[in-house]
Amino acid sequence: MSASLRGAMVVQAVGIGVLALGLVSPAAAQQEQPACLDDEARILGVVVDAGTEMPLSDAHVSAEGSDWGSLTTDNGWFALCGIEAGTHLVTVERLGYATLESRVEAAAPWDRIALRMQPDPILLEGLEIVADRFERRRRGVDTAVRTFDREDLVRSGYWSAAEFVDLQAGVVTTPCAGTTCVYYRGKVYGAVEPVVYLDEILMPGGWFQLEDIPTNQLYMLEVFGGGTHIRAYTHHFMEYAASVRLEPTVIR
């Protein structure tokens, strides 16, 4: 996505302050709210739809200068822990909503903020259409397919897509010819170098490409045939796909 297009999608947060929203019961909030260590600087809060005030799950919240972020819970709660005291540029991303950026002060231990995202109904509709098309493609291939969404990827704790595939996706890997291969359980059992696509583009280098893709930049990961064929999709690509009602490439 170009810098100008992304800039057009950035809106400033409104209504930032100590959280006083009657979205969930105190007991539910306590259960759903991520926790930080007592002595850590932190930013805690909830992400909601600006129109309905309903909490948004699986929104990615990050602070400038940090390699890690927080996915909101089912009740919209997030926690950015272990950050430096002071003001931070916080970014919130969720497909179907305009990216939100705001400068937020690392708060006292029990202060909460509300971050309100502006929905894009056209993108939300497009996302549903594209998700159905990807699912139809997966059903049309003659091999087993495992699909991992953004929540699976970000909450796994693995930095790269390669680590995730190796340790979380049920793929059996082995060193081979200076790279990493996976065991193929077809008519002939053996080790093969995986074919890797990023955003529907074939990536030369296979496994090495996965090592350079952070999990927090991915929206979805598809693992075909026990890892012999891997397709990774970034958040920005899926945003584009939703906007144009993309028809995924046929896999033969």
What per-residue confidence (pLDDT) applies to 25? 35
pTM above 0.85, yes or no: no
207: amino acid identity, one letter: W
- Same-domain check for residues 141 and 213: yes
User: Rounded to whole angstroms, how far apart are CA atoms 187 and 242?
Assistant: 38
In 10 A of CB 229, how many CB atoms?
19
Same domain flag for 103 and 166: no
Of the candidates 100, 117, 134, which is a domain's last residue? 117
Domain boundary among 94, 117, 140: 117
Q: Which domain holds residue 126?
A: 121-244
Per the CB < 8 A criterion, the answer to whether 210 and 159 are in contact is no
The closest alpha carbon to 154, from 174, 136, 168, belongs to 168
The pLDDT assigned to 65 comes to 72
The pLDDT, as a whole number, for residue 218 is 93
* Residue 45 sits in the same domain as residue 63: yes
Residue 185 belongs to a domain? yes
Shared domain for 170 and 67, answered yes or no, is no
CATH number of the domain that 84 lies in? 2.60.40.1120
**Are residues 89 and 176 part of one domain?**
no
Helical segments of the chain, H only:
3-8, 26-32, 121-139, 150-154, 161-168, 207-211, 235-244
Same domain, 77 and 177: no
Q: What does each C-alpha distance from 157 to 62, 144, 154, 215 come to in angstroms?
A: 15, 25, 6, 9
The verdict on residue 97 lying in a domain is yes
Q: Based on the fold, state whether residues 239 and 136 are members of the same structural domain.
A: yes
Question: Is 249 contained in some domain?
Answer: no
Q: How far is Cα 56 from Cα 70, in angstroms, rounded to an integer?
A: 13
Q: Is residue 213 in a domain?
A: yes
Per-residue pLDDT, 53: 94
What is the structure's pLDDT at 110?
62
Residue 182 lies in a domain: yes
Overall domain count for the chain: 2
pLDDT at res. 29: 38
28 falls within a domain: yes
pLDDT tens, position by position, 81-120: 878 888 899 999 998 999 999 998 886 566 788 999 999 9
pLDDT by 10-residue block (mean), the chain, 252 residues: 35 34 37 62 90 92 80 91 86 92 78 90 94 97 93 89 93 88 72 94 92 92 94 94 95 86
Dihedrals phi, psi of 89, to nearest 5 degrees: -80, 115
Residues 142 and 233 in one domain: yes
